[in-house]
Structure 1
Amino acid sequence: MFELSPYPLSSHGKLVRWGLLGFSCTPLLGTYFYHQGYRVGFLVCPIRCLTGIPCPTCGMTRSFMAIAQGNLIKAVAEHLFGPLLFASFVIVTVHITLELLIKRRVTAFYCHVVKQRKLQIIGSFAVFIYYIFRLYKLAQTGEMYFYFMNSPLGKLLF
């Protein structure tokens, strides 16, 4: 299940892990502080602000906030892949922290799973299909047209 490297981490390996730790901790800390009432105004989707149309990751922040409130149903409603991404950030944070504490590389079963090319392609395809479905739903209700026409790009073009 877990395999521990017999060799200590190199200084470059430690530096890379500190970077990964910072990257994976940021959304978790942001979720915590946002849930505590801290707000950062510039955290908006630039694609949605410009076009009025959501990007493939729009809804992730709201999904993470719902997870922080313990509302998994709302988290899935905001973005289907939000809980999965949140769990991934937690796993990576714990894994990298463990490696930095014991100063050795740890290989777990999930390290082999995420490296499988076929699984990466299937995951990317699933996210793409989910995004197309969301856009289709917005188009059917007329919201996408309304949002685009009221966006800066829509106003510039029409």
Structure 2
Amino acid sequence: MDSQKTKTLGIVLILFLLLLFYKCPIQILTGFPCPGCNMKTSLYYLLQFKFSESIYYHALLIPTIFLIVCILFNYKNQERIKKLLIIWAVLMIVYYIYRMLVYFPNSPMVYDKNNLIYFIFRHV
């Protein structure tokens, strides 16, 4: 296996492990959900073929998976990857704003009171 394939496989493995065992640092610090919050829950329902629940928790999971696959198979075409990442980032920001306006502070965009800032101000 050449070094580029080894690096790619390593990145995919790290992303997979982060997806499974990851706690959002933004939510730990501020209590507010980040743009990627609930992707793990969305993946859980997607793997169970419960598409409506998956889309409810994060509608951009499937485009994100598509983006990862495109990056893995087109890693030599840097211009295309750059364009795809810009489109994906804009979609994530717009979708995040929509979710915060429509759902926050209710499910799936909940506020976590067990955050660091709340803890500090509660004890000062």
TM-score, length basis structure 1: 0.56
1:15 matched to 2:9? The reply is no
Taking the TM superposition and a 5 Å limit, the aligned residue runs for 1:1-158 are 14-27=2-15, 40=21, 43-90=22-69, 95=73, 111=77, 114-115=80-81, 117=83, 120-139=85-104, 147=111, 150-158=114-122
Q: 1:53: how far off?
A: 0.5
Gapped regions of structure 2 (runs ≥ 5): none
Deviations 1:104-146 (A, max 9, x none): xx97xxx5883464x54343222111111222234576x98x8
8 Å CA contact retained: 2:39, 2:58: yes
Matched residue SS, 2:111: helix
Matched residue SS, 2:118: helix
TM-score, length basis structure 2: 0.68
Matched residue SS, 1:147: coil
Q: 1:58: how far off?
A: 0.7
Q: Take 1:155 and 1:54, find their aligned partners in 2: how far apart are those partners?
A: 17
Q: Take 2:105 and 2:24, find their aligned partners in 1: how far apart are those partners?
A: 23
Gapped regions of structure 1 (runs ≥ 5): 1-10, 35-39, 97-105
Q: 1:152: how far off?
A: 2.5
> How many residues were matched structurally?
121
Q: 1:26: how far off?
A: 5.0
For 1:15, give the aligned amino acid: S
Runs of 4+ in 1 over 4 A off after TM superposition: 25-31, 90-93, 138-141
Matched residue SS, 2:42: helix
Would the alpha carbon gap of residues 81 and 113 (structure 1) be closer, same or farther in structure 2, given more than 3 Å must change? farther
